[in-house]
Chains A and B, each alone.
Chain A
Amino acid sequence: DAGVTQSPTHLIKTRGQQVTLRCSPKSGHDTVSWYQQALGQGPQFIFQYYEEEERQRGNFPDRFSGHQFPNYSSELNVNALLLGDSALYLCASSLARQGFMNTEAFFGQGTRLTVV
């Protein structure tokens, strides 16, 4: 089992550019959540995707958008990059059960985004 895989591992972008980060969930998982972890801080919830729809969103601007594909993999897109978007972006996958909270979330190793 490959677990949660994220690509790329590192990325450098220029302010104003757009970036796409990718996540493949753990085998059997159908839900993907994205988190932003700034240096020295805990992760902050961006949004969650289930059944190819955004199920919930944290306090992030519309510049942050996502997508989930039929195979449950997901993308995080950030437009008009700001210096403050520099962070580690973590993807977590889990299995949704109707009527219950998500079970344990498995995290990937993250994508380190640097905006210059």
Chain B
Amino acid sequence: GEDVEQSLFLSVREGDSSVINCTYTDSSSTYLYWYKQEPGAGLQLLTYIFSNMDMKQDQRLTVLLNKKDKHLSLRIADTQTGDSAIYFCAETDGNNRLAFGKGNQVVVIP
């Protein structure tokens, strides 16, 4: 299956920006996704980007896609305590299955 890599832990002060990175291997992925999982909860789709785009902005969220390097990032502006969660990037494989990265835990310090 696809190998989606993510770093593991990020600590950030409230009000600062957070950047979470992800690399993926399947260059044919049509869409790439960011999911958020709060403690004890299911996954929430935050945003997605189509593979022919370089950037997508949605309120405090900015997604950057570098297809050449197969690199995806999520920037959260003005990070708030409610942003504390695990963030998973994901891509769809050739069978439209979601392949998740290992996840990145973000801890927001008040």
Partners in one complex: no
